[in-house]
Each structure stands twice: as C-alpha cells, then as structure tokens.
Amino acid sequence: MALLEVRDLQTHFFTREGVVRAVDGVSFSVETGKTLGIVGESGCGKSVTALSIMGLIPQPPARIVNGTIVFDGRDLTKLSNRQLEDVRGRQIAMIFQDPMTSLNPTLTIGTQLTETIRRHLGLARDEARRRAVELLEEVHIPNARQRLDDYPHRFSGGMRQRVMIAIALSCNPRLLIADEPTTALDVTVQAGILDLLDELRAEHEMAMILITHDMGVIAEATDDVAVMYAGQIVEHAPVEEVFYRPEHPYTEALLGALPQLEDEGVRERRLTAIPGRPPDLIDPPQACRFAPRCPHAGLGDTCTTEPPELREIRPGHWVRSAHPASERSPQTQEVGAT
C-alpha cells in the first residue's frame, strides 16, 4: 500500500492576468522505502506540487482547486492549518531549494535545529541540543558539538545542505521531499549529498520524493520517475524503463540533451536542443501541451485537437502521448527524426 497517493491534483494561481494552471491533473504514489523522482524544465510545476503536498502554497494567490493528497490514509487537503502544522516536520519533511538562502542567517545552527525538535517532540532544551548534536553527526558534520553554536555563514554550501537535511530528519519523518537538493553545489559535493540521502532513506525506512531538472541525478538516486511538462505528468515509469525505453517525445528530448560517455571519451554527436518554449499556463494548448515543440505532432490530427490521457502502455509504464515510441511505425520515426 502506498504511503502517499496524489490523485488529479490541480493547483492554480489566480492573478490579474488570468488563472495560471501551475499543476493541472497530477497523479502519482510513493511507497515506504522507495524514491520517486520528479523531473522537468523549470516552471513545469515540480515545486508547486511539493508545496501543495506540504500545505505551503501561498493563499492567495494560489489554491488547490481539485484533487486529493492522501498520506497514510488521511486526505491532507481536508486538514486545517493547525492539523497540517502537526504533520509538517513530524511526518512529512522537506528540504527546500538553495541551501545558501534557506537557513536564517541571524540564528545559530543549533537554534534552527532545536526549534523543530522541541515543537514536535516536546523535548527540554538540553535534550534537544543533545539530539541536535546526534543529527549533525549523522549527516557527517565534524566537530558537531562545537559547530552547533555557529551561524550559517561559517558553513560551506555542502555543509549547509547537510544541516538542511539534519533539520528535515530531526523528527524521523515517514516522507522526505527533497526539492533540488544539489542546486548550486559542485559535482563532487552533489554526489556526496545524494549518497547521504540514499543512506538515510534506507536507515530510516522513509519514502522520498526527489525533485530535480537533472536527469543524471534521477538516474543515480531514484526508483521511479515522473516526467512533468507544463503542469502535467507526461510519463511515469521505473527509472530503468525511462532511460532505456522512453515513450514520450519530451522524455526522449530530455535524454537527447545529455552528453553520452564511452570508454574512449565523449561520443561525437551533437546534443539535441528542444525547439520553442513551454506554453503559457494561463492559456495552455487545448490538446497536447508538448505539440508545438514535438517532432511528431504533424503526424496526426489528434495531437492538436484532443488532449491525450495518461495511459498504461506496459505494466507500470504510463505515458500521455498520441505517439508513444513503441507505437510509432518505422516511417513515423523517420519523419519525427528529421
């Protein structure tokens, strides 16, 4: 049974220019001990989906207009703000984007760590500090007891991200949402953070949602992948399926933009650029939202006249496309490639 089930989630922003359909019919589930990766271009709705789950979308201008978010049998969309406060941090925790700005520069690391512990676990000040030291040691910060009284500016970017992870794990949540946890970190630090997250997920038997725009991160750290485009999930499958048997043209385009390495070095081929730009979510296309940028859109009227449904084409592999790769004829594939 899934720990988290999101069904037909729609989160809209009501602005003077019109209604922005930031998340428009998103559905997925996450099981305990598994990691779901959500990937897509900036602005496709990844972070808004996470904030909707946490109950942190700004109201106004945003509002969940439809759908359910069922966590451990309870629909979070039906809870009051006070009830959500008891869930956030204690049962569902989130690592926010950009460790450089997510920590309060005027408070010590110890103060920011113990605040969550005392709020949810009811520990006394000394007990909370001991727990904070244990958490810093768990995320591999040296001299944890001394560093507890330091301010964030005395930590490197990678160390700040480890502090953010420690805060998120402070109450042993059952679900961890990591929103671009490797942003602004160099490659070697990124690898360390991903290894740490995977280690802690297994140790604490958590479910995890990993949000990123980096397909390399997805390949390394996830079990299942949801590919988002223009507020919708266009492909959802186990990670091996997405990389070795992608079905949606957008997924193919994302993978085509990755450099390929072989034993002798970088393969001599041009990286594929995705033409055009994502649609305006105030007035998105009525049919397939990727159609204006898709090399296969001219092959049938359905691309521009009918919105495709998210359908299962193989066990566990869902796609929202009138022309998934496995259903294209050789002639269709040749036309789309030109």
Tell me the pLDDT tens digit for each residue of 212-269. Answer: 988 888 998 999 999 999 999 999 999 999 999 999 999 999 998 887 665 455 555 6
The residue among 337 and 44 whose pLDDT is bigger is 44
Looking at the domain assignment, is residue 20 inside a domain?
Answer: yes
Looking at the domain assignment, is residue 227 inside a domain?
Answer: no
Q: In the chain, how many domains are there?
A: 2
**At residue 204, does pLDDT exceed 90?**
no
**Distance between CA atoms of residues 307 and 287, nearest Å:** 4
Q: How confident is the model at residue 124 (pLDDT cuts 50, 70, 90)?
A: very high
DSSP notation for 26-77: EEEEE-TT-EEEEE-STTSSHHHHHHHHHT-S-TTTEEEEEEEEEETTEEGG
Percent residues over pLDDT 70 in the chain: 92
Which structural domain range is residue 12 located in?
Answer: 4-222
Verify that 169 and 242 share a domain, yes or no: no
Mean pLDDT of 17-21: 96
Verify that 58 and 130 share a domain, yes or no: yes
Range from 47-56, 123-132, 195-204, 227-236 carrying the lowest mean pLDDT:
195-204
The residue among 97 and 136 whose pLDDT is bigger is 136
Looking at the domain assignment, is residue 45 inside a domain?
Answer: yes
Mean pLDDT of 307-315: 93
The angle subtended at Cα 330 by Cα 328 and Cα 335, nearest 5°, is: 85
**At residue 335, does pLDDT exceed 90?**
no
**At residue 301, does pLDDT exceed 70?**
no
Looking at the domain assignment, is residue 186 inside a domain?
Answer: yes
- Nearest CA-CA partner of 174 in 325, 39, 1: 1
**Predicted local confidence at residue 121, as pLDDT:** 87
Verify that 252 and 174 share a domain, yes or no: no
pTM of the predicted structure, to 2 decimals: 0.90
Indicate which CATH number applies to the domain containing 81.
3.40.50.300
Verify that 179 and 283 share a domain, yes or no: no
Q: How confident is the model at residue 338 (pLDDT cuts 50, 70, 90)?
A: very low
Q: Which helix (H) or strand (E) holds 177?
A: strand 175-179
**Predicted local confidence at residue 337, as pLDDT:** 40
Decide which of 222, 257, 274 is a domain's last residue. 222
Decide which of 222, 257, 278 is a domain's last residue. 222
